[in-house]
C-alpha cells in the first residue's frame, strides 16, 4: 500500500438528502470502519449521514504522523458547515477522539450543532498517552493499542503502530477543548464503557461537570471495551442514538 492508497475499510460514507443530518467522527488511529454500521443504520432510518475519513487515517502511519489535531478538526468543521448549510438540524456523533472533535464543534459552532452523541470521548489523557511527547523524541512509533474490543474475532481497524508525534497532538486537543467546555449548551448523550483500556472514565466525569448543557444522559455499556461501536453493546448504542435524535429533532 502506498501513502496515497486508502484502505477499503477506511472509505468515507455519505448518504441521504434529508433535512436532518448526522455527522459521524471516528477516533485517532482508527477509520470510518468503526462507525460504518452505525452510520448505515442511521441513513436507513431516514437521516442524511456524513462519515468522513479524517486526514492521515486509513492509509499509512507515516501519513498520520504528518498530521495534527488542527488537520482533523478542519476536516470535521468542513463537514459540519456543509451539512448545516443544507439541513435544518445537524447532530454530531463522535467516538474517542472523534468525541473530542465533536465537543469542539459544539464550542465554536453552537448554532449548528443540535445535539452530541459521544462514545467514550477523550478529554483526560491516560498515563500511556502522557508519555507520547517524551517518547516521540526517541522513537517514531509504539505498538498500537487501538483494538480494544471485548467481542472475539472483530477485525482490526487501525494501524499496527501508533505514530507518537501525532499522538502527542491529541494532548493539545484535549487541553484546548477542556478550556471551553462551558460553551457547550446542546443536549448530550454519552455512552461509557464499564471497562475501557484506552480512555479513562474520568474523561466522562470531567465532561459532565464542566459543560453548560442542562440535558445530559449517560448510558453505561456493561460488556464493551473502548471501541464499543464494534462490540457487544453496539445495538444499545445504535438504538439509543436513534431515540435521542428522534426526541430532539423538529
- In terms of Cβ atoms closer than 10 Å to its own Cβ (0-12, 13-18, 19+), residue 29 is buried
Write the DSSP symbol of residue 150: S
Task: Specify whether 95 is catalytic.
Answer: no
Task: Specify whether 226 is catalytic.
Answer: yes
- Residue 17's SS3 state is coil
Using CA atoms, how far apart are residues 124 and 209, in angstroms rounded to an integer? 13
Helix boundaries (H) for the chain: 33-44, 61-65, 69-86, 97-108, 127-130, 132-135, 164-178, 202-210, 234-248
Annotated active-site residue in 33, 57, 157, 226: 226
Task: Specify whether 96 is catalytic.
Answer: yes
The residue among 222, 209, 200, 178 whose CA lies nearest residue 125 is 200
Using CA atoms, how far apart are residues 135 and 43, in angstroms rounded to an integer? 42
- Could you give the dihedral angle defined by the CA atoms of residues 224, 97, 86 and 56, in that order, rounded to the nearest 10 degrees? -110
Q: What are phi and psi of 139, to 5 degrees?
A: -135, 150
- Residue 189's SS3 state is strand
Using CA atoms, how far apart are residues 161 and 182, in angstroms rounded to an integer? 35
Which three cell numbers mark 120? Answer: 467514550
Annotated active-site residue in 31, 112, 147, 196: 196
Annotated active-site residue in 96, 169, 193, 241: 96
- Which residues are identified as catalytic? 96, 196, 226
Amino acid at each position: 500500500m502506498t501513502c496515497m492508497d486508502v484502505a477499503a475499510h477506511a472509505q468515507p460514507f455519505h448518504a441521504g438528502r434529508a433535512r436532518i443530518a448526522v455527522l459521524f467522527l471516528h477516533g485517532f488511529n482508527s477509520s470510518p470502519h468503526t462507525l460504518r454500521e452505525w452510520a448505515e443504520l442511521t441513513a436507513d432510518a431516514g437521516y442524511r449521514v456524513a462519515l468522513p475519513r479524517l486526514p492521515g487515517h486509513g492509509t499509512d502511519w507515516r501519513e498520520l504522523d504528518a498530521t495534527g489535531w488542527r488537520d482533523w478538526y478542519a476536516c470535521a468543521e468542513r463537514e459540519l458547515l456543509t451539512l448545516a448549510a443544507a439541513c435544518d438540524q445537524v447532530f454530531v456523533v463522535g467516538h474517542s477522539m472523534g468525541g473530542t472533535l465533536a465537543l469542539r464543534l459544539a464550542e465554536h459552532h453552537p448554532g449548528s450543532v443540535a445535539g452530541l452523541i459521544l462514545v467514550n470521548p477523550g478529554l483526560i489523557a491516560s498515563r500511556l498517552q502522557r508519555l507520547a511527547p517524551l517518547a516521540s523524541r526517541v522513537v517514531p512509533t509504539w505498538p498500537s493499542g487501538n483494538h480494544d474490543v471485548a467481542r472475539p474475532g472483530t477485525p482490526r481497524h487501525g494501524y499496527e503502530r501508533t505514530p507518537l508525534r501525532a499522538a502527542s497532538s491529541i494532548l493539545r486537543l484535549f487541553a484546548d477543548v477542556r478550556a471551553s467546555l462551558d460553551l457547550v449548551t446542546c443536549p448530550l448523550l454519552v455512552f461509557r464503557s464499564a471497562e475501557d483500556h484506552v480512555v479513562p472514565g474520568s474523561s466522562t466525569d470531567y465532561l459532565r461537570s464542566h459543560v453548560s448543557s442542562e440535558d445530559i444522559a449517560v448510558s453505561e455499556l456493561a460488556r464493551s471495551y473502548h471501541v464499543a461501536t464494534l462490540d457487544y453493546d453496539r445495538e444499545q448504542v445504535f438504538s439509543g442514538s436513534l431515540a435521542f435524535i428522534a426526541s430532539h429533532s423538529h
